[in-house]
Amino acid sequence: MTRIKRGVAASKRRKNVLKRAKGFENRRSTNFVAAREALLHADKYSYRDRRNKKRDMRAVWLIRLNAALRENGTTYSKFAGILKKSGVGLNRKVLSELAIVAPDTFDALVKELSV
């Protein structure tokens, strides 16, 4: 029976782990065991933060929207109530983008709704 040399799969796996850990500091980027442990944590954080990013972006939209509304003499909480009563279908993301990109249009919308 012919001899089967091992090591190709193992070295490939180690090489891929070290490639993914490129950019980590110190031993975590060069040592396989440390890199594998660091990648476990990195994957856990990336999974969690893909969900948290949505939460953070909504908070940013609300902050931007509140700042733009205060320039127009109202607050976000009052404006949210007006939006709900009037049945406007624009979401917070679109409204905050509108406040940044087209402030004149946003001001007209606020004045129209608050009257």
Domains by residue range for the chain, with CATH: 10-114 (1.10.1900.20)
Percentage helix, strand, coil for the chain under 3-state DSSP, each rounded to 5: 80, 0, 20
Q: What is the pTM of this model?
A: 0.73
Q: How many helices (H) and strands (E) are present in the chain, helices listed first?
A: 5, 0
Task: Note the pLDDT tens digit of each residue in 32-88.
Answer: 999 999 999 999 999 999 999 999 999 999 999 999 999 999 999 999 999 899 888
With beta carbons less than 8 A apart as the criterion, state whether 60 and 95 touch.
no
Q: Is residue 1 pLDDT above 90, yes or no? A: no
